Amino acid sequence: MKRYQNYILGNWEDGSGEETLLFNSITGAAIGSVSSAGINFSEVLEYGRTKGGSVLRKMTFQERGRMLKALALHLLEQKEKYYEVSSWTGATKIDSWIDIEGGIGNLFANASLRKQFPDLPYYVDGSAVPLSKNGSFIGHHIMVPKEGVAIHINAFNFPIWGMLEKIAVNLMAGVPAVVKPSEYTSFLSEVVVRDIIASKILPEGALQLLVGLGRGLIDSVDNRDVVTFTGSAATGKILQSHPRILSESVPFNLEADSLNASILGKKASPGTVEFDLFIKEAVKEITIKAGQKCTAVRRIIVPEEYLEEVQKGISARLASTKIGNPSVDGVLMGALATKTQVDRVRASVEELAKSQQIVFGDLDEFEVHGADKKSGAFFSPILFLNSDPFNKTACHEIEAFGPVSTIMPYKTLPDAIQLAKMGKGSLVSSIVTPDDQEATEYVIGAASMHGRILVLNESCAKESTGHGSPMPLLTHGGPGRAGGGEEMGGKRGVLHYLQRTAIQGHPNTITAITQQFQVGASMPEAQPHVFRQHFEELVVGETVFTHKHTVSDADIINFANVSGDNFYAHMDATSLEGTIFERRVAHGYFILSKAAGLFVDPKKGPVLLNYGIEEARFTKPVYPGATIGVRFTVKEKIDQEKRSDDDIPKGIVKFFVDVYDETGETVAIATILTMVKKLEG
């Protein structure tokens, strides 16, 4: 029998004994065993902190992002082998696609976040804060990688996605990971990790894997680490209250299974496109991954006048859903992950059946295609009807983590909102309606108890990812029963693994630390002009002090003719009564345009193009007769990788534009983004 191994301390190793036997959930055949018993978890965590962490923390965000992209491309080339192994978990082709390619997609999405971070190992957060009258003392915030390990304790339902969506974030932040997937499906995680380790794309120690039970792992965490848990709320709360977590103040992110609800709006009456979408989405949520998703719809909340037609529509679709071996044509729902899970879901269904009626499905009598029902971990879709959901409340308290859902009626939309909230905190809710006013009322009313809300209608249906699909650039989590945590969320997720620290000092010092020019810092004159310097030669803080220009009435008239901007403040001096202007004022965009004319060195040189303006502000009116000049300062440099061998080597340079008048006061500021060629070929 195959022994699936742990990857720890730079080696593939067995644990002691056989903690868990693994079975093919379709055939029931034994496929191997796993164990993490006997492993010194303290050594594993310290190895990650020192071996992997020391390398990751020195890498810039740009380097980490390129590393994730390379890993995503590598795994995409290997993906076909994962599909076969994934089928052993009971997954259909679509189920496996979500797990495999959804997980790899998370790597790509997080790799793209590098564009939102500086070319540094740490992040500069927000803007500087003036702390003194004359500007010689300022404050700022930086965020540095935590010097511990991200410990990910994952559920059984997504052995690849669950792992990759989490490590993508901590690796982007510069923090190594120890992954402990569910022992029941860890064989699939192990296959992927073998390819990751063999690729040598990640530095050694950046990723370790524990395939067994991992008992005692939490005993070794300390205040440098971050723990994330995905699974049942009960288990999550036990871990969250572990004495070591509390005594060491270890950040703990809990993402728990929740009683998610989908609401059919009153405007989505039978016969509308939205009604049909609702039926389709409800059935998909019951059958995809055989209902084993933390985001699956457990409560189907519909207007009482549509209750019968919704029940008929869902039941008809479920009746045509083939259950069985995913390799058999036409099979749309596979098995649960294990027979243990079958027993757990059955017990929950039996408990729910005490207070509500099964209107579709049977615990014992259902057909399985291409497999032996007794050997595999198969389960019939179960649809309940609860005619009195405000008083029969088990459906708001008990989750059957399988293909099980409950239909319930509501009279008014506030009633639907209240029913959704009775789940005591959910990862996701959805409302299907063609009416934006109805959608707005639901979203605002229900948002306090939900981590995500999908509004589905005909306009977005073709491209919607659906109720059950969290996206890497949006937060995933929810309040209350859902755990109170947040995962992913684009940049927000990365910041979870960084320590925010306030820094104070002179603008020169803060500029040196942040590698971003701070107002009030020294501005040595650039020699030669910054447009004559290559990317590597430019120094943050170096400044071009331009010639000056006196603004005239002719400037204003000519700019109005060229731009077509004849706003009264620029062109009609008789209309200024009651405004802030004393007389006709120059266009703000003329000021910026003229500033460009002053600071640009026009000859061909290393500057390839200007592709944007950020943070433009017009801070003081400029009247004819005012004389303006520009301080043009290197603000920040961001490296950029070559996209191909024949691509021009280049980087992004941000310049701070400070336009001032004859009194020395600033009249306009902006940041321009330029693409600058490198010296190296």
Looking at 174-249, list the stretches that DSSP marks H as alpha helix, in order from N- to C-terminal side. Answer: 186-199, 233-240, 243-247
Helices (H), 600-632: none
Residues 6+ positions from 415 with CB-CB distance below 8 Å: none
What is the identity of the amino acid at 310? V
Please report which helix (H) or strand (E) contains residue 70, including its range. Answer: helix 61-87
Give the torsion sign (CA, 116, 118, 120, 125).
negative
Question: Residue 255 catalytic?
Answer: yes
- Residue 72, number of CB atoms within 10 A of its CB: 21
Please spell the DSSP secondary structure of 341-392, one letter per residue.
HHHHHHHHHHHHTTTSEEEE--SS----BSS-TTTTT----EEEE-S-TTT-
Active-site residue 395, yes or no?
no
Kind of pairing, strands 252-256 and 260-264? unpaired
Rounded to 5°, the CA angle 494-231-105 comes to 45
Residue 73, token pair as written in the block = 């491309």
Tokens, residue 88: 């052993």
**What is the rounded radius of gyration, in angstroms, for the C-alpha atoms of the chain?**
30
Q: Where are the beta strands (DSSP E) in 20-98?
A: 20-23, 30-34
CB 293 within 8 A of CB 230: no
Catalytic residue among 19, 274, 294, 441: 294
- Contact of 670 with 615, CB cutoff 8 Å: yes
Alpha-carbon distance 118 to 513, whole Å? 13
**Rounded distance, CA 99 to CA 629, Å?**
57
Catalytic site residue from 255, 274, 438, 542: 255
What whole-number distance in Å separates Cα of residue 141 and Cα of residue 618? 26
CA 665 to the chain's CA centroid: 42
Cα-to-chain-centroid distance, residue 387:
38
In angstroms, how far is CA 55 from the centroid of its own chain?
24
Evaluate the CA torsion angle 529, 531, 534, 539 in order and state its sign. Answer: positive
Q: Which residues are catalytic?
A: 255, 294
